[in-house]
Structure 1
Amino acid sequence: MSVAVGARPGANLTLGVEEEFLLLDPHSGGNAPVVEQVMDALPADVRGQSHLEFRRSMVEMVSLVRVDLADLRRELLVLRRAAAAAAAGAGARLVAVGATPVADPELTVPDKPRYRAMVRQYGPIASDPAVCGCHVHVGVPDRELAVQVCNHLRPWLPVVQALTVNSPVHAGADTGHASWRSMQLERWPSMGPTPRFDSAEDYDRTVEALIMSGVMLDPSMVYWYARPSVHYPTVEIRVGDVCPTVDDTILVAGLIRALVATVVDDVRAGRPAPELRDCLVSAAHWRAAHEGLDGTLTDLRSGRVRPAWDLVDELFAAVSPALLRHGDLSLVGAQLDRLRRQGTGATRQRRILRESGGLGAVLDELARQTVAD
């Protein structure tokens, strides 16, 4: 990802998106460890936007820095289609799904020193089946501001997580969780809700202490749901499953940018972040991963359990001025209406399971949606 521009007062914030995809065997539905062949087969003009991930059955595609959501949508579709064509050439299917739906028979990692070190340090945790997320970067170049933004995001990130749930199936069966990816990742010691920090110095001191403790190997292993990016002048929100369609990704990216812009205004106006107990924030994220938008979510502002869509509507209302400022209000509103009609990725998968009775039909539809215009 190229360097993002700043969060100047009144300026439109920049966006970048990282999408992780599974490479699945088209016959068995199991994971296919062919990422090296896929990356080699990508067109030269997009190869530099692909990354190796922790499993050889995964590939990550990374957008350029964008300001306009329509431009971002076009780019994401180009990247998805290029990766899907390369996967087909390697005998696999590119599928936007949050967790391994059938099996991951090949658990070796790509030949990178850091990945080998992670296997040595974390043992069986590092052998969990592959999971795929969607990471959204929003340009906030001032690290002090970025840390405060992460503090202010804490009440709303469970709602964002619920919007993205797209991994109800594991080992061929419905897990009862809308995001099994979220459950699986909880085994990693540096994963979870972002703690509250007083300052960038407090953040850096805490990360260093965690590295010294052995919980993390390096600062890149800060896997909190929101963080100042290690490599870019951005806040990175990494709470969501990879989205099944490009339109789902654009909805999430637009909402996240507007949410960051809204809390930037709060920080600059001197409004404090709400004081929230970490255990309650964790509970709210568990509920979001379990329910998605088909049940209830925990409203961290009041501590009450409420209908999920009530909180989505309140999030939309809270960020509407920022959506309007960025020119995204109509687009994001229309995509939210579509999501209300169609359901989340998890809801759609379960609907196909009920109607077809087979996981094969789910994977066929997921592969189609991954590259659908």
Structure 2
Amino acid sequence: MVLTVGVEEEFLLLDPVTGENAPVVEKVLAGLTGAARAQSRLEVRHSMVEMVTGVCTGLAEVREQLGGLRRAAAESAAATGAALVAIGATPIADPRRTVTDNPRFRAIGRHYGPIAHDPAVCGCHVHVGVSDRELAVRVCDRLRVWLPVVQALTVNSPLFSGADTGHASWRSMQLERWPGLGPAPLHGSGAGYDRTVRTLVASGVMLDESMVLWYARPSATWPTVEVRVGDVGLTVDDAVLVAGLIRGLVGAAVEDVVAGRPAPEVPDHVLRAAHWNAAHAGLAGTLLDPVRGVARPAWDLVGELVAAVTPVLARHGDLAGTHDGLQRLRRTGTGAERQRRILGRTGDVPATLTELARLTVS
């Protein structure tokens, strides 16, 4: 059975001269036409735009749609005098730190206060189709131990306030201020999931049941598992690689559920440590193996992830492309590593962002 996949990408709109966030999303959306307009979304901040693929059955289709959506959004942004940049966190400054004109976003702003007005951050959310909600919850239980590795693969936000933060994903560090965001608890069943969400809503940690911000969750809207741990990918190649690996992980988790293999019982605090490690270091060093509780070379854990999903990748025709994508990533580095190299060469953050805008649509 072929598992469907869809990708949501958030992008920053930046002033091409200063590098500051440009609050022009309404103009950018108005400039989109046809399928690109239908597949665009207003996000919580004025300097962000989200583009969403349709339901895809193959990674070639994902690639085609992502490339077309990025080009359309970049052209519309350029018409407003802004640049579309695939970067995970505000690199210099966000001068208009208010939520966009949406009743839902305003309610979030009232409930969470200044946290909702932090500088804009951009992620990549991958949806993989599953047959029912109960299965989706059980799949999420089995994804928990692999998502720090996925996070390390996607790091793409080392810059903040005009300087290198020392973290590979500043977006991840910034989002730790949000309650209810992070690795999902181990639920065991749909009923267990519902009990946890009701408790967190009662506490105020979640405004309501739609504020489930865990790194993997059953989608509230679609019959999918949604994985939302990663920074937006710098290039289309980066996004396609991650989409394929996540589909592979979901497929392997479905097989584990069907076979009755239990989900690893890793404590939440260990997973949080593994995610912090991934966001800090990316693939440039060691990662915490949450099952063994020891630090290991990052690429060793990537290799174990690929081994775990190889049968699913092969069944979907994704094995060769995934191996090629990982070889490219090992050769060129993560988005964070590429940003740092460009910054080292230019010595200037706005000049770096100009090159990142080019890579966004390359």
TM-score normalised by the shorter chain: which range applies?
Answer: over 0.9
Say if 2:15 is the partner of 1:25: yes
Equivalent position SS for 1:313: helix
Equivalent position SS for 1:108: coil
Distance in structure 2 (CA, Å) of the matches to 1:32 and 1:353: 21
1:220 to 201, 207, 210: 210
Say if 2:99 is the partner of 1:103: no
Indicate the residue corresponding to 1:85 in structure 2.
Answer: 75
Say if 2:132 is the partner of 1:147: no
Give the deviation of 1:14 after TM superposition. Answer: 0.3
Distance in structure 1 (CA, Å) of the matches to 2:111 and 2:350: 36
Indicate the residue corresponding to 2:351 in structure 1.
Answer: 361
The letter for the 2-side match of 1:350 is R
Of the structure 1 ranges 144-153 and 351-360, higher mean CA displacement relative to structure 2 is found in: 351-360
Q: Percent identity?
A: 67
Give the deviation of 1:182 after TM superposition. Answer: 0.2
Q: Where does structure 1 lack aligned partners over 5 or more consecutive residues?
A: 1-10
2:243 to 253, 277, 292: 253
Q: TM-score, normalised by structure 1?
A: 0.96
- After superposition, the C-alpha distances for 1:184-233 in whole angstroms (9 at most, x for unaligned) are 00000011111100210111122122122211122221110000000000
Say if 2:266 is the partner of 1:266: no
Of the structure 1 ranges 40-49 and 124-133, higher mean CA displacement relative to structure 2 is found in: 40-49
Give the deviation of 1:369 after TM superposition. Answer: 0.7
1:232 to 186, 209, 222: 222
1:349 to 310, 332, 339: 339
Indicate the residue corresponding to 1:211 in structure 2.
Answer: 201
Say if 2:111 is the partner of 1:116: no
Indicate the residue corresponding to 1:3 in structure 2.
Answer: none
Give the deviation of 1:125 after TM superposition. Answer: 0.7
Q: Following TM superposition, where does structure 1 have runs of at least 4 consecutive aligned residues deviating by more than 3 angstroms?
A: none
- After superposition, the C-alpha distances for 1:119-157 in whole angstroms (9 at most, x for unaligned) are 111111111000000000000131111111111111100
2:60 to 70, 85, 96: 70
Indicate the residue corresponding to 1:7 in structure 2.
Answer: none
Distance in structure 1 (CA, Å) of the matches to 2:96 and 2:34: 28
The letter for the 2-side match of 1:281 is L
Equivalent position SS for 2:108: helix
Equivalent position SS for 2:321: helix
Equivalent position SS for 2:68: helix
1:134 to 113, 124, 128: 124
Give the deviation of 1:44 after TM superposition. Answer: 2.3
Give the deviation of 1:352 after TM superposition. Answer: 1.2
Indicate the residue corresponding to 2:283 in structure 1.
Answer: 293
Distance in structure 2 (CA, Å) of the matches to 1:178 and 1:353: 14
Distance in structure 2 (CA, Å) of the matches to 1:246 and 1:355: 23
- After superposition, the C-alpha distances for 1:14-33 in whole angstroms (9 at most, x for unaligned) are 00000000000011100000
Indicate the residue corresponding to 1:323 in structure 2.
Answer: 313
Q: TM-score, normalised by structure 2?
A: 0.99
Distance in structure 2 (CA, Å) of the matches to 1:227 and 1:41: 33
Distance in structure 2 (CA, Å) of the matches to 1:350 and 1:192: 26
Distance in structure 2 (CA, Å) of the matches to 1:226 and 1:257: 13
Indicate the residue corresponding to 1:189 in structure 2.
Answer: 179
Distance in structure 2 (CA, Å) of the matches to 1:69 and 1:159: 21
Equivalent position SS for 1:288: helix
The letter for the 2-side match of 1:310 is D
Equivalent position SS for 1:286: helix
Equivalent position SS for 1:23: strand
Of the structure 1 ranges 18-27 and 202-211, higher mean CA displacement relative to structure 2 is found in: 202-211
1:335 to 325, 335, 346: 325
For this pair of structures, how many residues does the alignment match? 362
Distance in structure 1 (CA, Å) of the matches to 2:359 and 2:208: 36
Equivalent position SS for 1:67: coil
Distance in structure 2 (CA, Å) of the matches to 1:67 and 1:128: 36
Say if 2:169 is the partner of 1:179: yes
